[in-house]
Amino acid sequence: MGHRTCGTIFILLYVISTSTLLASSNEHGLIRIPLKKRSIMDSIYGELLPKPPSALEKTKQAAAGPGPGREEAVGVDDPVRDAIAQARERQHQMLVEAAATERRRRYYWSYSGGGKGNSSRLHDGGLGQGNIVALKNFLNAQYFGQIGVGCPPQNFTVVFDTGSANLWVPSAKCFFSLACLFHPKYDSSQSSTYKPNGTPASIHYGTGGIAGFYSEDQVTVGNLVVQNQEFIEATHEPGFTFLLAKFDGILGLAFQEISVEGSVPVWYNMVNQSLVEQPVFSFWLNRNPFDGEGGEIVFGGSDEQHYKGSHTYTRVTRKAYWQFEMGDFLIGGRSTGICVDGCAAIADSGTSLIAGPLVAIAQINEQIGAAGVVNHECKQVVAGYGLEMVELLKAQTPPSQVCSKIGLCTFDGTHGVSAGIESVSGSVDGMSEAICNACEMIVFWMQSEFNANKTTEGTLEYVDRLCENMPDPVGSYVNCRHIGSLQTVAFSIGGRAFELRPDQYILKVGEGFAAHCISGFTALDIPPPVGPLWIGFADSA
């Protein structure tokens, strides 16, 4: 087997016996967790995760059973899967305007002959050498590479996705989907190693989906040839999600537990067939969009030329996604207290943004001056009950009981549930849960300020500013001129704090007067016991 290591900004270590996640760091311990960023441009932002079935579908599945020779996929009714899908949908909504700006800028460059043009951004790396696959870099937001299916190989450009576990490519039997007309299609009649299977399969996404059937053939990844690999021939790609996509299909790198129909993922077969020297795969993403090399993914190792210092190891806590335990979250070196008791985090290569709890994202937006929605419920609670809440906390009232004592929530011993208060318009039911949630969030912020010995007036002013900077579901914008003066944020992983600079968590699209700067953080609240949950983590080259 030819061998050539690739650079790693972050590494996923899959050890079947120990299930450990490995992330690289520089000499100061700067982590690089999130693997690859999927495109945020040209209407290709759709979720790449199977959608949980409806109650009717689950009833039919239970009656039919898993099918001959199959085991039913684990975790179909999975809140983590839903959370990842929500994060990717937020990413799609938030960046539509930025995508339009970038398209206009690229059109102007192409028309005027200015700049280096789009061609310099899309490096065609081919199949690579050894266990290396060269990656293309599209606008510093999408990284994808080429694989071959069949003998001789039929080449496809795929997204290497750690948030899903199946391989699918368009089928020559796809006759009625417009997307299939614009992408290469797998033709089983042209492969000498094809084996029929025929099991129906479908994957649903928030903005579309694919359907087809399983087939079996050899898959070439770099110079590795995986034998007898099951994959989905997509015969239906409705809608526009994949029509203008820069990729043809998806190669999932998550665990078999979330694979549709329990199919064995490509990565598993690489290990099982002893094709790799180590049970490790790693990514190097080149953040310079004008460089000829977009990045690399290496199966079976890593390359010391692309990282400094030692690696930090942390255990995978759930064999479905690359999920691990995260400790404290800091802004400007100051603890927020949000994850001091631990939070779950997922390294999802399909999410460009970092999704986290609302209480954390609001604090980040306040610190970086991101303009979000003026949250009416939050402001209403501060104006009407802020002083009373402060006095209760000063009187050593347990924070979990403050909102119930002032009548905004009822308390069942584990979590605040809305008791309901009347809104400005006189409605009770529509406002009650939002008011309760806002109250609980404000109590958390107030407690954090008390720990810093802030005055009553200072505390109320602080939470009022946080209300002003509640994250907007369609994006939180930052003044591009202020990026250099913003604070760092840090995540505690494996007992070490890993820092992100402002230029690493702010997405800048366009140049000059056309530039837009968007916060790389988006709010996503997942209740216990699954949450609080963080998803994503942008690379920090």
> How far is the C-alpha of 99 from the C-alpha of 474, rounded, in Å?
13
Tell me the pLDDT tens digit for each residue of 415-461: 433 333 333 323 333 346 667 877 888 888 888 777 776 788 888 88
> What local confidence, expressed as pLDDT, does residue 27 receive?
40
> How far is the C-alpha of 299 from the C-alpha of 418, rounded, in Å?
50
> How far is the C-alpha of 248 from the C-alpha of 233, rounded, in Å?
12
Higher pLDDT, 309 or 74: 309
The dihedral built from the CA positions of residue 8, 10, 14 and 15, taken in this order, carries a sign that is positive
> Would you call the peptide bond into 502 cis, given omega within 30 degrees of 0 as the criterion?
no
Domain ranges, residue 269: 10-169+218-229+239-306
367 shares its domain with 385: no
144 shares its domain with 104: yes
> What local confidence, expressed as pLDDT, does residue 428 receive?
35
89-103, 231-245, 340-354: the lowest-pLDDT one: 89-103
The total number of structural domains in the chain stands at 3
> How far is the C-alpha of 521 from the C-alpha of 536, rounded, in Å?
10
31-35, 155-159, 356-360: the lowest-pLDDT one: 31-35
Higher pLDDT, 147 or 405: 147
500 neighbors 516 (Cβ within 8 angstroms): no
| Residue 176 forms part of a structural domain | no
> How far is the C-alpha of 406 from the C-alpha of 412, rounded, in Å?
15
pLDDT of 64 over the 60 cut: no
455 shares its domain with 384: yes
Tell me the pLDDT tens digit for each residue of 201-223: 998 765 568 999 999 999 999 99
Cα–Cα distances (Å) from 200 to 233, 309, 404, in that order, read 10, 47, 52
| Residue 234 forms part of a structural domain | no
Higher pLDDT, 522 or 171: 171
272 shares its domain with 395: no
> What local confidence, expressed as pLDDT, does residue 129 receive?
38
> What local confidence, expressed as pLDDT, does residue 139 receive?
65
* CB neighbour list of residue 399: distance below 8 Å, 6 or more residues apart: 393, 443, 444, 447
| Residue 208 forms part of a structural domain | no
SS3 (DSSP) at 541: coil
Query: Helices in 256-375 by DSSP H: which ranges?
Result: 266-272, 358-368
What is the percent of the chain with per-residue pLDDT over 70, rounded to a whole number? 66
75 shares its domain with 154: yes
> What local confidence, expressed as pLDDT, does residue 206 receive?
52
Residue 533 Rama label (left phi>0; alpha psi -120 to 50; beta): beta
- Supply the DSSP symbol for 349: T
Q: Model confidence at 473, in pLDDT bands (50, 70, 90)?
A: low
224 shares its domain with 332: no
Q: Active-site residue numbers? A: 161, 348
> How far is the C-alpha of 404 from the C-alpha of 505, rounded, in Å?
37
> How far is the C-alpha of 87 from the C-alpha of 302, rounded, in Å?
29
Q: Model confidence at 242, in pLDDT bands (50, 70, 90)?
A: confident
pLDDT of 102 over the 90 cut: no
| Residue 294 forms part of a structural domain | yes
Tell me the pLDDT tens digit for each residue of 135-189: 887 766 678 899 999 999 999 999 999 888 999 999 999 999 999 999 999 999 9
Residue 23: phi and psi, rounded to 5, are -125, 140
Tell me the pLDDT tens digit for each residue of 249-272: 999 999 999 999 999 999 999 999
Tell me the pLDDT tens digit for each residue of 274-297: 999 899 998 888 877 667 788 889
| Residue 202 forms part of a structural domain | no
| Residue 277 forms part of a structural domain | yes
* CB neighbour list of residue 430: distance below 8 Å, 6 or more residues apart: 423
| Residue 314 forms part of a structural domain | no
Residue in 135, 145, 206, 197 with CA at minimum distance from that of residue 171: 197
244 shares its domain with 363: no
**Stretch 378-384: mean pLDDT:** 80
SS3 (DSSP) at 5: coil
> How far is the C-alpha of 426 from the C-alpha of 161, rounded, in Å?
48
Q: What are the structure tokens assigned to 326, written together?
A: 């995260």
> What local confidence, expressed as pLDDT, does residue 90 receive?
61
CATH number at residue 101: 2.40.70.10
Q: Model confidence at 37, in pLDDT bands (50, 70, 90)?
A: very low
Q: In this structure, which amino acid lies at residue 180?
A: C
Last residue of a domain, one of 410, 437, 468: 468
What is the H or E stretch that residue 161 is in?
Answer: strand 154-161
pLDDT of 107 over the 50 cut: no
Residue in 229, 258, 199, 223 with CA at minimum distance from that of residue 79: 258
Tell me the pLDDT tens digit for each residue of 298-333: 899 887 777 788 888 899 998 888 999 999 888 888
Q: How confident is the prediction for the chain on average, in pLDDT?
A: 73
> How far is the C-alpha of 186 from the C-alpha of 93, rounded, in Å?
32
- Supply the DSSP symbol for 511: S
301 shares its domain with 450: no
345-354, 363-372, 412-421, 493-502: the lowest-pLDDT one: 412-421
413 shares its domain with 482: no
| Residue 78 forms part of a structural domain | yes
27 shares its domain with 108: yes
41 shares its domain with 161: yes
- 250-283 burial code (b ≥16 CB/10 A, e <16): bbbbbbbebbbbbbebbbbbbbeeebbeebbbbb
Cα 204 versus chain centre, distance: 17
155 shares its domain with 53: yes
